[in-house]
Chain A
Amino acid sequence: DTEVTQTPKHLVMGMTNKKSLKCEQHMGHRAMYWYKQKAKKPPELMFVYSYEKLSINESVPSRFSPECPNSSLLNLHLHALQPEDSALYLCASSQAGLGSTEAFFGQGTRLTVV
Protein backbone atom coordinates (compact mmCIF):
# COMPACT_ATOMS: atom_id res chain seq x y z
CA ASP A 1 0.00 0.00 0.00
CA THR A 2 1.73 3.17 -1.20
CA GLU A 3 -1.14 5.53 -0.56
CA VAL A 4 -1.59 8.52 1.65
CA THR A 5 -5.29 8.95 2.32
CA GLN A 6 -6.75 12.33 3.24
CA THR A 7 -10.25 13.04 4.43
CA PRO A 8 -12.39 14.88 3.68
CA LYS A 9 -11.68 15.69 0.02
CA HIS A 10 -13.61 18.95 0.25
CA LEU A 11 -14.54 21.08 3.26
CA VAL A 12 -16.47 24.31 3.56
CA MET A 13 -16.39 25.93 6.97
CA GLY A 14 -17.42 29.19 8.56
CA MET A 15 -14.97 31.40 10.38
CA THR A 16 -16.34 30.35 13.77
CA ASN A 17 -16.31 26.60 13.07
CA LYS A 18 -13.94 23.94 14.37
CA LYS A 19 -13.04 21.15 11.99
CA SER A 20 -10.28 18.60 11.50
CA LEU A 21 -8.42 17.27 8.49
CA LYS A 22 -7.22 13.68 8.65
CA CYS A 23 -4.34 11.87 6.97
CA GLU A 24 -3.40 8.19 7.11
CA GLN A 25 -0.56 6.09 5.69
CA HIS A 26 0.46 2.48 6.18
CA MET A 27 3.87 2.51 4.56
CA GLY A 28 5.72 2.55 7.86
CA HIS A 29 6.95 6.09 7.24
CA ARG A 30 8.04 7.88 10.39
CA ALA A 31 8.00 11.39 8.92
CA MET A 32 4.74 13.10 8.08
CA TYR A 33 4.07 16.59 6.78
CA TRP A 34 1.36 19.17 6.24
CA TYR A 35 1.68 21.47 3.25
CA LYS A 36 -0.60 24.31 2.15
CA GLN A 37 -1.03 25.13 -1.53
CA LYS A 38 -2.75 28.21 -2.92
CA ALA A 39 -3.87 28.39 -6.53
CA LYS A 40 -1.00 28.59 -9.04
CA LYS A 41 1.57 28.45 -6.21
CA PRO A 42 3.87 25.64 -5.07
CA PRO A 43 3.15 23.67 -1.91
CA GLU A 44 4.44 25.44 1.23
CA LEU A 45 5.48 23.51 4.29
CA MET A 46 3.46 24.01 7.48
CA PHE A 47 4.48 21.24 9.90
CA VAL A 48 6.81 18.25 10.09
CA TYR A 49 6.38 15.31 12.45
CA SER A 50 9.25 12.93 12.99
CA TYR A 51 8.64 9.79 15.03
CA GLU A 52 5.34 11.27 16.19
CA LYS A 53 7.01 14.41 17.53
CA LEU A 54 6.60 17.87 16.06
CA SER A 55 9.99 18.81 14.65
CA ILE A 56 9.22 21.78 12.43
CA ASN A 57 6.54 24.46 12.67
CA GLU A 58 6.98 27.01 9.90
CA SER A 59 5.56 29.90 11.91
CA VAL A 60 2.02 28.76 11.28
CA PRO A 61 -0.74 30.69 13.09
CA SER A 62 -2.17 28.98 16.16
CA ARG A 63 -5.56 28.60 14.49
CA PHE A 64 -3.93 25.58 12.84
CA SER A 65 -3.11 22.84 15.36
CA PRO A 66 -1.43 19.62 14.23
CA GLU A 67 -1.62 16.30 16.02
CA CYS A 68 0.08 12.96 15.41
CA PRO A 69 -1.78 10.33 17.49
CA ASN A 70 0.36 7.47 16.16
CA SER A 71 2.82 6.65 13.43
CA SER A 72 0.10 6.14 10.81
CA LEU A 73 -2.15 9.12 11.50
CA LEU A 74 -1.79 12.87 11.20
CA ASN A 75 -4.51 15.39 11.97
CA LEU A 76 -4.80 19.12 11.41
CA HIS A 77 -7.29 20.84 13.69
CA LEU A 78 -8.78 24.06 12.39
CA HIS A 79 -10.39 26.80 14.45
CA ALA A 80 -11.40 30.38 13.72
CA LEU A 81 -9.95 30.37 10.23
CA GLN A 82 -9.94 33.31 7.87
CA PRO A 83 -11.08 33.37 4.23
CA GLU A 84 -7.43 33.69 3.16
CA ASP A 85 -6.81 30.26 4.67
CA SER A 86 -8.81 28.75 1.82
CA ALA A 87 -6.39 26.44 -0.03
CA LEU A 88 -5.53 22.86 -0.87
CA TYR A 89 -4.06 21.18 2.22
CA LEU A 90 -1.71 18.35 1.42
CA CYS A 91 -0.43 15.63 3.69
CA ALA A 92 2.78 13.79 2.83
CA SER A 93 4.90 11.06 4.30
CA SER A 94 8.38 9.73 3.81
CA GLN A 95 11.03 7.66 5.40
CA ALA A 96 12.71 9.86 7.95
CA GLY A 97 15.12 12.26 6.33
CA LEU A 98 13.14 13.82 3.50
CA GLY A 99 15.20 15.14 0.66
CA SER A 100 17.07 11.92 0.16
CA THR A 101 13.90 9.92 -0.34
CA GLU A 102 10.72 10.44 -2.22
CA ALA A 103 7.69 11.95 -0.56
CA PHE A 104 4.25 10.42 -0.98
CA PHE A 105 1.46 12.98 -1.09
CA GLY A 106 -2.22 12.54 -0.48
CA GLN A 107 -4.85 13.93 -2.84
CA GLY A 108 -5.39 16.87 -0.56
CA THR A 109 -8.34 18.50 1.14
CA ARG A 110 -9.79 21.48 -0.68
CA LEU A 111 -10.73 23.89 2.11
CA THR A 112 -13.01 26.87 1.61
CA VAL A 113 -13.51 29.29 4.52
CA VAL A 114 -16.62 31.42 4.22
Chain B
Amino acid sequence: SQKIEQNSEALNIQEGKTATLTCNYTNYSPAYLQWYRQDPGRGPVFLLLIRENEKEKRKERLKVTFDTTLKQSLFHITASQPADSATYLCALENYGGSQGNLIFGKGTKLSVKP
Protein backbone atom coordinates (compact mmCIF):
# COMPACT_ATOMS: atom_id res chain seq x y z
CA SER B 1 0.00 0.00 0.00
CA GLN B 2 1.04 3.63 -0.45
CA LYS B 3 3.07 5.06 2.35
CA ILE B 4 4.30 8.58 3.12
CA GLU B 5 6.89 9.10 5.82
CA GLN B 6 8.19 12.24 7.41
CA ASN B 7 11.10 10.87 9.32
CA SER B 8 11.37 13.48 12.02
CA GLU B 9 8.47 14.06 14.36
CA ALA B 10 10.18 17.16 15.67
CA LEU B 11 13.03 19.42 14.61
CA ASN B 12 14.56 22.11 16.82
CA ILE B 13 16.83 24.73 15.28
CA GLN B 14 18.29 28.12 16.10
CA GLU B 15 16.95 31.27 14.52
CA GLY B 16 18.79 32.18 11.32
CA LYS B 17 19.70 28.59 10.45
CA THR B 18 18.27 26.57 7.59
CA ALA B 19 15.63 24.00 8.48
CA THR B 20 15.52 20.90 6.29
CA LEU B 21 12.53 18.56 6.47
CA THR B 22 12.30 15.20 4.71
CA CYS B 23 9.38 13.39 3.09
CA ASN B 24 9.77 9.87 1.72
CA TYR B 25 7.20 7.77 -0.06
CA THR B 26 6.88 4.16 -1.16
CA ASN B 27 4.60 2.25 -3.54
CA TYR B 28 3.91 5.48 -5.33
CA SER B 29 4.64 7.31 -8.55
CA PRO B 30 3.14 10.71 -7.80
CA ALA B 31 2.91 13.38 -10.44
CA TYR B 32 2.84 16.11 -7.79
CA LEU B 33 3.90 16.62 -4.22
CA GLN B 34 2.67 19.39 -1.93
CA TRP B 35 3.81 20.95 1.32
CA TYR B 36 1.50 22.52 3.89
CA ARG B 37 1.98 24.38 7.14
CA GLN B 38 -0.34 23.75 10.08
CA ASP B 39 -0.53 25.77 13.26
CA PRO B 40 -2.12 24.25 16.39
CA GLY B 41 -5.91 24.01 16.17
CA ARG B 42 -6.02 25.44 12.63
CA GLY B 43 -6.40 24.04 9.15
CA PRO B 44 -3.38 23.34 6.93
CA VAL B 45 -2.18 26.18 4.71
CA PHE B 46 -0.74 25.43 1.27
CA LEU B 47 2.90 26.41 0.76
CA LEU B 48 4.33 24.84 -2.39
CA LEU B 49 3.52 22.29 -5.07
CA ILE B 50 6.23 20.59 -7.12
CA ARG B 51 5.70 18.45 -10.21
CA GLU B 52 7.57 15.26 -11.01
CA ASN B 53 9.44 16.92 -13.87
CA GLU B 54 10.61 19.77 -11.61
CA LYS B 55 13.76 19.21 -9.58
CA GLU B 56 13.38 22.28 -7.42
CA LYS B 57 10.91 25.04 -6.63
CA ARG B 58 11.38 28.21 -4.60
CA LYS B 59 9.10 30.72 -2.92
CA GLU B 60 10.72 33.46 -0.87
CA ARG B 61 12.67 31.67 1.91
CA LEU B 62 11.18 28.27 1.02
CA LYS B 63 12.70 25.69 -1.30
CA VAL B 64 11.38 22.25 -2.21
CA THR B 65 13.19 19.51 -4.09
CA PHE B 66 11.66 16.39 -5.59
CA ASP B 67 13.78 13.33 -6.38
CA THR B 68 11.61 10.68 -8.02
CA THR B 69 14.52 8.22 -8.10
CA LEU B 70 15.05 8.41 -4.35
CA LYS B 71 11.29 8.84 -3.83
CA GLN B 72 12.01 11.79 -1.62
CA SER B 73 11.22 15.47 -1.22
CA LEU B 74 13.22 17.91 0.87
CA PHE B 75 11.68 21.11 2.24
CA HIS B 76 14.05 23.91 3.24
CA ILE B 77 13.38 27.12 5.16
CA THR B 78 16.36 29.45 4.99
CA ALA B 79 17.07 32.17 7.54
CA SER B 80 14.49 30.58 9.83
CA GLN B 81 12.51 32.73 12.26
CA PRO B 82 10.53 31.87 15.42
CA ALA B 83 7.38 32.64 13.40
CA ASP B 84 8.22 29.63 11.20
CA SER B 85 7.52 27.34 14.16
CA ALA B 86 4.66 25.06 13.12
CA THR B 87 3.97 21.55 11.88
CA TYR B 88 4.85 20.98 8.24
CA LEU B 89 2.99 18.31 6.28
CA CYS B 90 3.87 16.78 2.95
CA ALA B 91 1.00 15.48 0.85
CA LEU B 92 0.54 13.34 -2.23
CA GLU B 93 -2.43 12.68 -4.43
CA ASN B 94 -4.04 9.40 -3.45
CA TYR B 95 -2.95 6.91 -6.09
CA GLY B 96 -5.78 5.80 -8.30
CA GLY B 97 -8.27 8.31 -6.96
CA SER B 98 -10.66 9.17 -9.74
CA GLN B 99 -11.22 12.64 -8.42
CA GLY B 100 -8.00 12.99 -6.63
CA ASN B 101 -7.55 13.63 -2.99
CA LEU B 102 -4.60 14.23 -0.76
CA ILE B 103 -3.08 11.92 1.77
CA PHE B 104 -0.75 13.46 4.28
CA GLY B 105 2.42 12.46 6.02
CA LYS B 106 2.40 12.61 9.82
CA GLY B 107 4.15 15.96 9.79
CA THR B 108 7.29 17.41 11.31
CA LYS B 109 6.91 19.88 14.16
CA LEU B 110 9.48 22.62 13.66
CA SER B 111 10.57 24.80 16.58
CA VAL B 112 12.78 27.78 15.84
CA LYS B 113 14.46 29.19 18.97
CA PRO B 114 15.49 32.83 19.16
Contact = CB atoms under 8 A, between A and B. Distances in A.
A51 to B, nearest CB: 10
B100 A98 contact: yes
B44 A98 contact: no
Contacts of B43: 4, 90, 92, 105-108
Nearest to A4: B43
Interface stretch (A14-22, A39-47, A64-72, A74-82): A39-47
B21 interface: no
B99 A55 contact: yes
Contacts of B99: 31, 48, 50, 55-56, 96-98
B79 interface: no
Given A31-B99, A56-B99, A107 B42 contact: yes
Interface residues of A, number: 29
Nearest to B42: A107
A45 B41 contact: no
A100 B32 contact: yes
A61 interface: no
Contacts of A108: 41-43
A51 B102 CA distance: 18
Given A105-B43, A105-B45, A100 B106 contact: no
B104 A42 contact: yes
B41 A102 contact: no
Contacts of B49: 100-102
7 contacts: A43-B104, A56-B101, A98-B99, A99-B94, A100-B49, A103-B46, A105-B44
Interface of B: 30-32, 34, 41-46, 49, 89, 92-94, 97-107
